[in-house]
Amino acid sequence: MSEDWQQVARDVSALLREGRRQVIAKMAGPMTVDEKTGRKDLVTNIDKSNEQFLIAGIRNMDPTAKVLGEEGFGDKLTSLDGRVWIVDPIDGTMNFVKQHDNFAMMIGIYQDGEGQLGFIYDVMNDVLYAGGPAVGGVWANDQQISAPANLALSEGLIGASAPLVVHDTAHMQKIVHDSAGMRIYGSAGIEMINVLLGKTLGYISYLKPWDIAAGQVMLNFLGVRVSTIDGQPLNMLSSNLVLVATEKAQRDILQIEEDDVSL
Ligand code: 2AM
Ligand code: CA
Ligand code: CA
Ligand code: CA
């Protein structure tokens, strides 16, 4: 693979734009929807074909790449050594099926466990968020993004996945109570875009590596904290209860966890 990260970023952006064109073309045709673990966990023929398309493009760019893909067309990974590409072909599949909106395509590139580049493509708005330490910035299409304000929990909105709130996992109700309000978008990618843009100050959800890989790279680069709900680094080979938050809001939320208080 080219060691010129700017070139890699351009190549991956072109790959994602072509993937988007194909996804949008296929959305006009019949969609096959299957359940994975249950009726709220879906996969379509387009999730699968887009993952195959993206992974073929990645292997073309980087023949020795190790690829972790949600739908199983990548490799079985046992470590993060070397260069690892983490792919979520459609993030927010339920939104994709029900709304034809509010879903994303995501790719994260890690080198020996260190995030280098992240890509989150807001498909229907046609805005590609891309960047990380390898290219020294984060962009929304051609527009560079500056770091979001370091808001305390009380000063901003927090995103979360609905089950955490319903079951009051990890003191979610107290966290929501202490915030300015909660929003639920149904796509980790769209949630992380909102944090990148400072529209929300954080996001809490139980996530797999492909849900968080791309966002973690860009968020960290802009000073947003990504950790487990206990403040520990994520294990990028398994699931995590993920806390994305501004530095101040992370401190506020970790304090709630430590105090172990409910409403
Ligand atoms: P997905 O659409 O790629 O599966 C929905 O709240 C968000 O959580 C989406 O980003 C979704 O990603 C992710 N998610 C992770 N695990 C999930 C699961 N078991 N069922 C549904 N969504 C899941
Ligand atoms: Ca899924
Ligand atoms: Ca996902
Ligand atoms: Ca997905």
* Burial annotation 245-263 (CB, 10 A radius, 16+ → b, else e): bbebbbebbbebbeeeeee
Tokens representing residue 117 in the block: 């580049």
pLDDT at 122 over 90: yes
pLDDT at 183 over 90: yes
The CATH number for 153-259, chosen from 3.40.190.80, 3.30.1380.10, 3.40.30.10, 3.40.190.10, is: 3.40.190.80
Ligand 1 pocket, mutate which of 87, 93, 216 (most atoms under 8 A from CB): 93
Question: What global pTM score does this model have?
Answer: 0.98
Task: Please tell me the predicted confidence (pLDDT) of residue 123.
Answer: 99
Give the separation between CA 138 and CA 59, rounded to whole angstroms. 24
263 or 105: which carries more pLDDT confidence? 105
The enclosing H or E element of 258 equals: helix 247-259
Task: Please tell me the predicted confidence (pLDDT) of residue 24.
Answer: 98
The average confidence (pLDDT) of the chain is 97
Per-residue pLDDT, averaged over 179-185, amounts to 98
| Per-residue pLDDT reduced to its tens digit, 128-152 | 999 999 999 999 999 999 999 999 9
Listed by start position, the domains of the chain span 5-144, 153-259
| Per-residue pLDDT reduced to its tens digit, 208-262 | 999 999 999 999 999 999 999 999 999 999 999 999 999 999 999 999 999 987 7
- Point out the ligand 1 atom lying closest to the alpha carbon of residue 184: 6
pLDDT at 2 over 70: no
SS3 for 14-57 is: HHHHHHHHHHHHHHCCCCCEEEEEECCEEEEHHHHHHHHHHHHH
pLDDT at 33 over 80: yes
List the residue whose alpha carbon is closest to atom 3 of ligand 1.
91
Give 93 Cα–ligand 1 centroid separation in angstroms.
7
* Ligand in closest contact with the CA of 69: 4
Task: Please tell me the predicted confidence (pLDDT) of residue 3.
Answer: 79
Ligand 1 pocket, mutate which of 165, 185, 207 (most atoms under 8 A from CB): 207
Give 95 Cα–ligand 4 centroid separation in angstroms.
11
Percent helix, strand, coil in the chain, to 5, is: 40, 30, 35
- Point out the ligand 1 atom lying closest to the alpha carbon of residue 188: 10
pLDDT at 193 over 70: yes
Pocket of ligand 1 (CB under 6 A): 37, 40-41, 88, 91-93, 161, 186-188, 205, 207-208, 211
The interface predicted TM-score (ipTM) is 0.98
Give the separation between CA 63 and CA 59, rounded to whole angstroms. 5
Give 41 Cα–ligand 4 centroid separation in angstroms.
10
Domain at 5-144, CATH class: alpha beta
